[in-house]
Amino acid sequence: MAEIIRSVKGTRDFYPEQMVLHRWLYNHIRAVSARYGYQEWEAPMLETLDLYAAKSGDELVKEQAFVFEDRGGSSVALRPELTPSLARMVAQQRQTLNVPLRWWSFGPFWRYERPQKGRAREFFQWNLDLLGSTSVNSDAEVASVASALFSSIGLTPNEVIIRVNSRQFMEQRVAEIGVPNDRHSAVFRLIDRVDKLSESKWLDYGQKLGLNNHQITALREMLDDRNQWRNSEQLNEFFKTIDHMGVRQWFEFDPRIVRGLDYYTGIVFEARDRSNLHRAILGGGRYDNLVAEVGGEPISGTGFAMGDVVVQLVANEFGLLPEMNPCQTQILVTLFGHESVAQSYTVANELRQNDLRVEVYPDAVKLKNQVRYADRQGIPIVIVLGPDELDSGEVSVKQLATGEQSNIPMASLVDTIRMILESESSP
Amino acid sequence: MAEIIRSVKGTRDFYPEQMVLHRWLYNHIRAVSARYGYQEWEAPMLETLDLYAAKSGDELVKEQAFVFEDRGGSSVALRPELTPSLARMVAQQRQTLNVPLRWWSFGPFWRYERPQKGRAREFFQWNLDLLGSTSVNSDAEVASVASALFSSIGLTPNEVIIRVNSRQFMEQRVAEIGVPNDRHSAVFRLIDRVDKLSESKWLDYGQKLGLNNHQITALREMLDDRNQWRNSEQLNEFFKTIDHMGVRQWFEFDPRIVRGLDYYTGIVFEARDRSNLHRAILGGGRYDNLVAEVGGEPISGTGFAMGDVVVQLVANEFGLLPEMNPCQTQILVTLFGHESVAQSYTVANELRQNDLRVEVYPDAVKLKNQVRYADRQGIPIVIVLGPDELDSGEVSVKQLATGEQSNIPMASLVDTIRMILESESSP
């Protein structure tokens, strides 16, 4: 036998068993987003390279994006993130959109990173954004929706924490240390790596950026100061509003959170498992210039993105992924042979018209094998239609959980099935 | 103002207005697939080029697929179709899967074709497949699910027809005309183009393939013979089973249907609008060798794929696309100012905990503007929380449809809201 052709490294196969979990996550996301008035949207998965260039940060565009020339010779990218597409679409319809906009989306993204636990090259992302409002209330709102999703899937603040900071506040602190304005982005990248690099490598990196020892020491001290947020009006307001929203317990200030993307301008935040075993579950913040940067009339935005991989790892760690049978079929109608094909499909048809989920076994194999198939799938009811049953105008209804079997006149079949299904679903 | 960065040609932007229709289609697909016992799954969107090579047909792979080298130097393709991925995944798990498999999927695909009405370069496709059964019942079943989707969205056999043929039967007919075996694929491509090329161009194409005049005339006559299916046991059985399934009125035999993909081996079918204004709505058929061709143990399959573009054009033509408001928010809570932020968010929180969909206006702008926003969005209820209301322990509830406004004590707010929503949803 030839070798089976392989899948692409970093992609995932969703068999029905995995797909029900994917839908489980999507359904929670959908319900939570709707509860806060967010509307679902979707952008193209292919965008021009120009859309990302100089806006998403060099690492994402130059090192991680899948970029190629299409057959017409244009440089296109498989989207590595959604916010630039959001900015483009909002810019295009700015005049007709009724602000504030509350939009969410769940779709595939691609980044060429080394595949590892919690990281795939093709992954899904929940994006949720609020545009057209500059107030910290909006930052607090999107962050609170993130916490609502965690609650919805059963996580608590004992397992997950959302860490918050302000880019403006950090700008101010970094300026106080004596870093000139044109070095701020570089210093933010330095801050972003404080937990990713060893102490000595981090110090080297700081020196390479031109910081003197005094500045590095001051920066290092600043990154350990958990109370400085009280000096920021913006952060004070953020935490007050989050408190009003009833979700203060999910949040804490962390001066090390600056987020890697260049377009953030205000409040930034990220969620992690408390024990820091995994990568960030989600990250986001305010981006007040992005729509203007893609060529649109300026409009403020704030939002976050959550990948599908880490949140499911964390949920799994705490036993929160549900056991779900991908088979939702309620009834298997057996097939005896050529002479009874008509009856099997007629019965199935009638049951389906009564909103029941029904399979007909497609081949006239041994009855035992048909029943075994139903049993393995977890289909609770098998309807046997053989020559005996056809002669008598009845069908045989078998409940696989109990083995009970009885002959039912065709006329009362739907009612009988409903009774069985109700009795099986009650405890 | 700079020019707004453009989207990639042939891709589509799904604003919330378009997204509700996308979900509408998905929800019909999901419900119909489940009613027949099909389970949702999803494949990667990136696959190796090898997976498609020599299986999907030259046109699809060499001319239409988006193929590129990833950063590691491997040739990968954005999937132009799903069936090869299905074959790969089934081959990989062949031993643990409980056959027959009934799987469906809805996701994005890419083909570099000239964008035109009914055709996008990035599009979505519903795929539905039944594997592990060789019987014509299975072909009839998947075809009947296609007709069930049409019924579900309100189409009838007056608008849409599913045309059916058999590759085996055509092989036999083409052999009778005197075409040698090694020319059959070429002649199938000739048949596939009979309605796409002018008569003279079609004749030229036939001669180029090495057919003599006698053969071309015989082929041409054969393609007009609508009754020859009665000579095929397979097609007789197909139409008999389709009749048992109660959907015979959706189907007719058509000798011109052979479908373009090389891997089809048995029954093939495609659906079109009766007036032939559009491209095929869906197409499918049996592929008994594909799993073996990707390196797996042989297993039969039959299924179809339906793009999202043409079916919506046809549905729209017959007025079947629903008017849907993407805003599902039930209540807007207004924001008066700093002193009442706490109350606004507390009220919103309580309503959400009672399963209501609630927005808080994020900025303390003029009340008139907040109400106008709700009105434009179609949010039926506005809760006004000003200093007067706060002092009295009541909130003001305004119904936008009637303009009615009344002060409600906080304690009975949820009940009042529910009553209003119920009265508004009843006729």
Q: Domain residue spans in chain A?
A: 16-317, 331-421
Exposure string for B61-77, b = 16+ CB within 10 A, e = fewer: beebbbbbebeeeeebb
Element of type H or E holding B122: strand B122-131
Nearest to B4 among A13, A88, A345 (CB): A88
Whether B16 and A41 lie within 8 Å, measured CB to CB: yes
Alpha-carbon distance values, A156 to A149, A307, A321, B40 (Å) = 10, 19, 14, 30
| B27 or B53, which is more confident | B27
What does residue B116 show for φ and ψ, rounded to 5 degrees?
-160, 180
CATH number of A331-421: 3.40.50.800
**CA A380 – CA B94 distance, rounded (Å):** 24
pLDDT at B73: 82
User: B92: nearest CA in chain A?
Assistant: A4
A48 — pLDDT class (breaks 50, 70, 90): very high
Q: What is the mean pLDDT of residues B187-201?
A: 90
Cβ-Cβ contacts under 8 Å, A361 against chain B? 100
Q: Which residue shows structure tokens 């399963």?
A: B355
Tell me the per-residue pLDDT of B381-391, one tens digit each, with 9 for 90 and over: 999 998 777 78
Bridge partners for B272 per DSSP: B161
CATH of B331-425, one of 3.40.50.800, 3.40.50.1820, 3.40.50.720, 1.10.3720.10: 3.40.50.800
Nearest to B19 among A19, A40, A326 (CB): A40
**A214 CA to chain B: closest CA distance, Å?**
41
Whether A245 and B349 lie within 8 Å, measured CB to CB: yes
Tell me the per-residue pLDDT of B67-95, one tens digit each, with 9 for 90 and over: 988 877 888 999 999 999 999 999 999 98
Whether B137 and A362 lie within 8 Å, measured CB to CB: yes
Instruction: Inform me whether the pLDDT recorded for B157 exceeds 60.
Output: yes
pLDDT at A12: 97
Query: By C-alpha distance, which of A300, A307, A305 is closest to A137?
Result: A300
Nearest to B19 among A23, A41, A122 (CB): A41
Across chain A, mean pLDDT equals: 93
A3 — pLDDT class (breaks 50, 70, 90): confident
Nearest to A373 among B98, B108, B112 (CB): B98
Burial class (CB in 10 A: 0-12, 13-18, 19+), B31: middle
pLDDT at B258: 87
Q: What is the mean pLDDT of residues A271-300?
A: 91
Nearest to B45 among A5, A108, A358 (CB): A108
From the CA atom positions of chain B, what is the Rg in Å? 28
- Amino acid identity, position B135: S
**B18 CA to chain A: closest CA distance, Å?**
8
**CA A220 – CA B89 distance, rounded (Å):** 50
Cβ-Cβ contacts under 8 Å, A240 against chain B? 341
**A28 CA to chain B: closest CA distance, Å?**
13
Whether B362 and A295 lie within 8 Å, measured CB to CB: no
Rounded percentage of chain B residues whose pLDDT exceeds 70: 97
User: A13: nearest CA in chain B?
Assistant: B43
Q: Which residue shows structure tokens 């009265």?
A: B423
Query: By C-alpha distance, which of B378, B368, B358 is closest to A141?
Result: B358
Cβ-Cβ contacts under 8 Å, A245 against chain B? 345, 349
Contact B41, B30 (CB under 8 A): no
User: A327: nearest CA in chain B?
Assistant: B39
Parallel, antiparallel, or unpaired: how do β-strands A282-286 and A301-307 relate? antiparallel
Tell me the per-residue pLDDT of B350-378, one tens digit each, with 9 for 90 and over: 999 999 999 999 999 999 999 999 999 99
Cβ-Cβ contacts under 8 Å, B88 against chain A? 4-5, 7
**CA A167 – CA B275 distance, rounded (Å):** 60
Which of A78-82, A110-114, A288-292 tops mean pLDDT? A78-82
Query: By C-alpha distance, which of B44, B112, B20, B120 is closest to A108?
Result: B44
User: B41: nearest CA in chain A?
Assistant: A16
**B127 CA to chain A: closest CA distance, Å?**
14
Contacts A–B by Cβ distance under 8 A = 261
Query: Is the link from the previous residue into A326 a cis peptide, with omega within 30 of 0?
Result: no
Query: By C-alpha distance, which of A345, A343, A386 is closest to A368?
Result: A386
Nearest to B135 among A48, A294, A362 (CB): A362
Parallel, antiparallel, or unpaired: how do β-strands A267-273 and A160-166 relate? antiparallel
**A228 CA to chain B: closest CA distance, Å?**
23
B61 — pLDDT class (breaks 50, 70, 90): confident
Instruction: Inform me whether the pLDDT recorded for B1 exceeds 60.
Output: no
Q: Which has the minimum average pLDDT: B266-270, B291-295, B404-408?
A: B291-295
pLDDT at B2: 63
Tell me the per-residue pLDDT of A328-357, one tens digit each, with 9 for 90 and over: 999 999 999 888 899 999 999 999 999 999
Tell me the per-residue pLDDT of B408-418, one tens digit each, with 9 for 90 and over: 999 999 999 99
Instruction: Inform me whether the pLDDT recorded for B54 exceeds 60.
Output: no
Whether A70 and B66 lie within 8 Å, measured CB to CB: yes
What does residue B311 show for φ and ψ, rounded to 5 degrees?
-60, -35
Instruction: Inform me whether the pLDDT recorded for A55 exceeds 70.
Output: no
Cβ-Cβ contacts under 8 Å, A34 against chain B? 328, 357
Nearest to A47 among B7, B110, B241 (CB): B7
Interface test with A, best of B46, B52, B290 (most A CBs within 10 A): B46
Whether B341 and A137 lie within 8 Å, measured CB to CB: yes
Q: Which has the minimum average pLDDT: A328-332, A370-374, B31-35, B213-217?
A: B213-217
Tell me the per-residue pLDDT of A153-187, one tens digit each, with 9 for 90 and over: 999 999 999 999 999 999 999 999 999 988 888 89
Q: What is the mean pLDDT of residues B282-298?
A: 88
Instruction: Inform me whether the pLDDT recorded for B126 exceeds 70.
Output: yes
Cβ-Cβ contacts under 8 Å, A99 against chain B? 373
Whether A5 and B294 lie within 8 Å, measured CB to CB: yes
B370 Cβ contact partners less than 8 Å away, ≥ 6 residues apart: B332, B334, B335, B361, B382
Rounded percentage of chain B residues whose pLDDT exceeds 90: 78
Whether A68 and B71 lie within 8 Å, measured CB to CB: no
Nearest to A122 among B45, B91, B373 (CB): B45
Contact A112, A292 (CB under 8 A): no
ipTM comes to 0.95
Whether A112 and B70 lie within 8 Å, measured CB to CB: yes
**A119 CA to chain B: closest CA distance, Å?**
15
Class of domain B16-317: alpha beta
Nearest to B245 among A13, A15, A349 (CB): A349
Residues in chain A: 427
pLDDT at B70: 81
Instruction: Inform me whether the pLDDT recorded for A403 exceeds 60.
Output: yes
Output the CA torsion B95→B101→B105→B109 (10° steps): 60
Q: Which has the minimum average pLDDT: A196-200, A302-306, A326-330?
A: A196-200
Instruction: Inform me whether the pLDDT recorded for B36 exceeds 70.
Output: yes
What does residue B242 show for φ and ψ, rounded to 5 degrees?
-55, -35
User: B46: nearest CA in chain A?
Assistant: A8
pLDDT at B57: 63
Alpha-carbon distance values, A34 to A128, A142, B223, B272, B420 (Å) = 11, 13, 53, 36, 20
User: A363: nearest CA in chain B?
Assistant: B135
Query: By C-alpha distance, which of B202, B203, B136, B208 is closest to B168?
Result: B136
Instruction: Inform me whether the pLDDT recorded for B168 exceeds 70.
Output: yes
Contact B45, A108 (CB under 8 A): yes
A402 — pLDDT class (breaks 50, 70, 90): very high
pLDDT at B296: 83
Does the CA dihedral A394-A395-A399-A403 come out positive or negative? positive
Instruction: Inform me whether the pLDDT recorded for A262 exceeds 80.
Output: no
**Domains A16-317 and A331-421 in one fold:** no
pLDDT at A393: 85
pLDDT at B260: 72
- Amino acid identity, position B327: C
Whether A88 and B7 lie within 8 Å, measured CB to CB: yes
A297 — pLDDT class (breaks 50, 70, 90): confident
pLDDT at A91: 92
A57 — pLDDT class (breaks 50, 70, 90): low
